[in-house]
Structures are given as structure tokens and as C-alpha cells.
Homo-oligomer: A and B are copies of this chain.
Amino acid sequence: MTLYLNLAELLGDRIEQGLYRPGDRLPSVRALSQEHGVSLSTVQQAYRHLEDQGLATPRPKSGYFVPASRQVPALPEISRTAQRPVEVSQWDQVLEQVSSAPDERTIQLGRGRPDISVPTLKPLLRSLSRLSRRQDLSGLTYGSIYGDRSLREQVSRLLLDSGCQIAADEIIITTGCHEALSAAIRAICEPGDIVAVDSPSFHGVMQALKGFGMKALELPTDPLTGISLEALELALEQWPIKAIQLTPTCNNPLGYIMPEANKRALLTLAQRYDVAIIEDDVYGDLAYRYPRPPTIKSFDEDGRVLLCSSFSKTLAPGLRIGWIAPGRYRDRVLHMKYMGTGSTAQLPQMALAEFIAGGHYEPHLRRMRAQYQRSRDLMIEWISRYFPASVKISQPQGSFMIWVELPEGFDSHRLNRELRAHGVQIATGSIFSASGKFRNCLRMNYAAKPTATVEQAVRTVGELAAQLLAEQAG
């Protein structure tokens, strides 16, 4: 073990044994360096490690402290869901959400943007810049409908981390995860067909179901373990379900990671009732635990799982590069992809392939995982501090979003409207439901650097929520 890990372990033990107590100032870097005969930078590394584990908190100019113990709000309720397949609504609210461009005057806590202002992305920018000027102009012409060969090979390699052995030939590059999901749905379902979904669930999928005339069956979903398998089995008995669509790893918006046993059990159910699984893994690589959890796809034996993902959350959404490993549905998916957009842009594919092949993907992920985990802790602290005591929140195990539940009857649309005057925006809960549930909920993003401005924005949301609740009661 390296020096700094030794030291971190020692300090961690002392904290956990209560030698240093919540709120205490920890020994200074200089003091520890002298005490243990190690360099200042080794101590600093040790503190950073403790910070990643949530055992130490830096305060500017005054050193490290043991985080204050605090009351963490309770978990949201298990979603009660519509008892039958419904046609999807809520397009107006989604539209409001996605029509906003990045905007300096508004703190957009509502959108699913990752932090892209980090130095570990620099090599990607350099590749983009250099490839743009390449003599053979290969970035400017139509590529193959399957996508760039070199990128497909890199994606195939990355997939090993989630337990998948999928050859480059079995991967199709898409215009973001959106297109992967949309092509998957259309490849399997006809208008009128029923798709079972987790609930709350990503609005992009909801709107695709709506647009293609399919029905969503929202299943009760546990905020720690995901889709209820009992409810799923009952539903499979009762309805002619064509596909199950879910985001089992670092769920959006609930942030849970479905346990491996549940993933396997879900696959077994899908086999028994012969339905396809559309697995969205767009946040999977951002799980705070390492190694990252396996996908359902990694257990798939007969090609019934269509794995959809992209670089939008791990790297940069503006590139619009995603992929699908469509299993046995490859030909249909390809057809849907062709008629939707033709081939995918070449230049970003080439740059991404270079970035990954150059070994830049893993270090970037490592950094983002640690950053997002720290920010999650801060976000939880802020919500505990600034929101009404009745608030319930999710416990995100990855990615950069938190789900906030307020008491029945609370109106997050009204909240969002009133936040406008304060230059703050959140995602209202009902866009995550086919049938407009979760109006009392909201989703906030903690990807951006946790500055005082962001803290102030969260505070504004909390205080305004309290005010609306009080009005409601009064």
C-alpha cells in the first residue's frame, strides 16, 4: 500500500473510533507531516482520499474537519403507479425543459448536463481540433451507417468493464442515447403495444412512447433497488407486454443501482415471458463504487437485451454520440437508425476513438466519480439545511442528480414558475411520469462545481418550496 493510503487509513480509523468527533478540526497538514515523517504532499493526498470517502471536509484557509453529523432526510415513497397501461402526456412541460439553451443568467438545476469544464477533457478538445484540420477530410464525409470502425472497437473494449463481451460488429453508433432508445423501441414495438417502465422514468423514453403511439405501464419502483419484481411479474401475467425499458444502474432520476440479483431475476422473468429488455446504461460508468456494477446485458444469453448508452453524461453531451448493442434485433435497429438520421457525424466519432485509445477515458471517469460523489454529499447537506423538514430525498449511488419529494399536494410546476424571477430552474417531477404523477417532486442536478452561487440557488429552491407549502397549509 502506498504511504498516503496508509496514512488515510490510520486517520480514518481514528475518526471512526470517535477520537476526532463530528465538527472537530483535524490535525494540520504540517503537523501530520512531522508526526509521520512523510512529505506535505503525501498528507494532502491522504486528506483528499478521506474527502472522497466523506470522512473529512476541507474549509478554505482553516484546514480539514470531521463532517458534522446531521439528520439525513428520509427516502422518497415507493412510487404508487397507474394500474394499467396509459398513453403518455406531459409533452408541454418537457418542451419547456429542453428548449432552454445554456444561459448565463439562469442556474439550470433542472437539466441533465455533466460538468464539462474539467482538465481531463482537454485531450478530447485537442483531438477534435486537430482532426478538423486533417488533410483527408474524413471527418466531413458520410461514414458507414454502423458508425466509425475505430470507435466501435473502443466501445467494445469499454464494455468489458460492465461485464459485457460484445464484438465491435455488434455495436451501432447512434446520435446520442436518445437515438439508441428511440430506435430500440421502434425496432421492437408497433403502435398500440405496451412497454413496462420504471417509475419515475426518463422523459425521453416517455415521449418516444407517446410519439410512436405506444403505451407505458409504470411499475412501482423502490428508491434503493429499482423496479419491483413482484409487480413486474404480475404485470407480465396480466398484459401483453412487448418490452421492459429501464435504467437499472445509476437510475435517472432516483440514482439507485439495482442489485445484481435483481438484475438477474429480471432477465429470467423476461426470458420466461419472452419479452425484450431495453437497458439504458447512460450513467452506468458514473457509479461511485469501483469496479462499476454489471449491466443486465452482461448476463444476456439469447440477445434479448438491447443495451443503449452514450458519452453524453460521462464526457460531453454536445457531441451527440451514443451507441446501441442491439443483440438479436440488429437489422431492425439499423433500419430504424437509417430512417431517423442516416449515418452519424464522423468527426466526433474519430475524436472519441482517439481519446479512449489514448487512455484518457478512465482517468477522466475517476475524477468525475470522485467529484460527483463529493457534490452529492454537499447537495444532501444543503437540502437538509434549506428545505422544509418534510422533504424526502433519494440516495444517489452514481451520476449527478437527486430526486426531491415534498408532501402530497405540493406543486412543483408552480415552484418552477416562481423560481424564474430568481434565475433558478429545476426539473418538475411530472415529466418523469407517463400519467403526470410526481407533481409534488422535483429533480436537481449537482454536476456543476459546488460554488456559493449554486448553494444559494438550492437555498432559494428550498425556501420558496417552504413558502409554497405554508401557503398551501394556510
Across-interface contacts of A94 in B (CB, < 8 A): 338
Is the C-beta of A341 less than 8 angstroms from some C-beta in chain B? yes
Among A104-158, those with CB < 8 Å from B are 111-113, 116-117, 121, 125-126, 128-130, 132-133, 137-146, 148-149
Q: Which residue of B lies closest to A347 (CB)?
A: B318
A339 touches B141 (CB 8 A): no
B207 touches A318 (CB 8 A): no
Among the stretches A3-11, A173-181, A296-304, A421-429, the one at the interface with B is: A173-181
Across-interface contacts of A98 in B (CB, < 8 A): 142, 144-145, 338, 342-343
A111 touches B182 (CB 8 A): no
A195 to chain B, nearest CB (A): 13
Q: In the complex, which of the residues A341, A347, A348 has the most CB atoms of chain B within 10 Å of its own CB atom?
A: A341
Q: A98-B342, A319-B345, A345-B348 are in contact. Are A186 and B211 (CB under 8 A)?
A: yes
B140 touches A317 (CB 8 A): yes
B141 touches A318 (CB 8 A): yes
Across-interface contacts of A347 in B (CB, < 8 A): 128, 318-319, 348
A113 touches B141 (CB 8 A): yes
Across-interface contacts of A95 in B (CB, < 8 A): 145, 334-335, 338
Is the C-beta of A344 less than 8 angstroms from some C-beta in chain B? yes
Is the C-beta of A164 less than 8 angstroms from some C-beta in chain B? no
Across-interface contacts of A344 in B (CB, < 8 A): 320
A112 to chain B, nearest CB (A): 8
A342 touches B102 (CB 8 A): no
Q: How far is the CA of A109 from the CA of B175 in the complex (A)?
A: 27
Among A238-264, those with CB < 8 Å from B are none
Q: How far is the CA of A320 from the CA of B175 in the complex (A)?
A: 10
Q: Which residue of B lies closest to A117 (CB)?
A: B137
Is the C-beta of A402 less than 8 angstroms from some C-beta in chain B? no
Across-interface contacts of A175 in B (CB, < 8 A): 175, 320, 341, 345
Is the C-beta of A101 less than 8 angstroms from some C-beta in chain B? yes
B102 touches A141 (CB 8 A): yes
Is the C-beta of A71 less than 8 angstroms from some C-beta in chain B? no
Across-interface contacts of A128 in B (CB, < 8 A): 128-129, 132, 347
Q: Which residue of B lies closest to A114 (CB)?
A: B141
A341 touches B339 (CB 8 A): no
A340 touches B125 (CB 8 A): no
A341 touches B341 (CB 8 A): yes
Q: Which residue of B lies closest to A98 (CB)?
A: B145
Across-interface contacts of A126 in B (CB, < 8 A): 133
Across-interface contacts of A149 in B (CB, < 8 A): 101
Q: Can you give 30 A-B contacts (C-beta < 8 A)? A: A94-B338, A95-B335, A99-B144, A101-B148, A101-B149, A102-B138, A116-B137, A116-B141, A121-B137, A121-B140, A125-B137, A129-B132, A137-B316, A139-B318, A140-B319, A141-B317, A175-B341, A176-B342, A178-B341, A178-B342, A204-B338, A204-B342, A207-B335, A211-B335, A211-B336, A212-B339, A318-B346, A319-B345, A319-B347, A347-B348
Chain A residues in the interface with B (C-beta under 8 A): 91, 94-95, 98-102, 111-113, 116-117, 121, 125-126, 128-130, 132-133, 137-146, 148-149, 175-176, 178-179, 182, 186, 190-191, 204, 207-208, 210-213, 312, 316-320, 334-336, 338-348
Which 10 pairs across A and B sit closest by C-beta, in order of nearness?
A: A140-B316, A128-B132, A178-B342, A101-B144, A208-B339, A129-B132, A318-B346, A320-B345, A140-B318, A211-B339
Given contacts A129-B130, A178-B342, A340-B341, 16 further A-B contacts (CB under 8 A): A94-B338, A95-B145, A98-B142, A98-B343, A101-B144, A102-B141, A102-B143, A113-B141, A116-B141, A140-B319, A141-B316, A175-B320, A204-B338, A318-B346, A318-B347, A319-B345
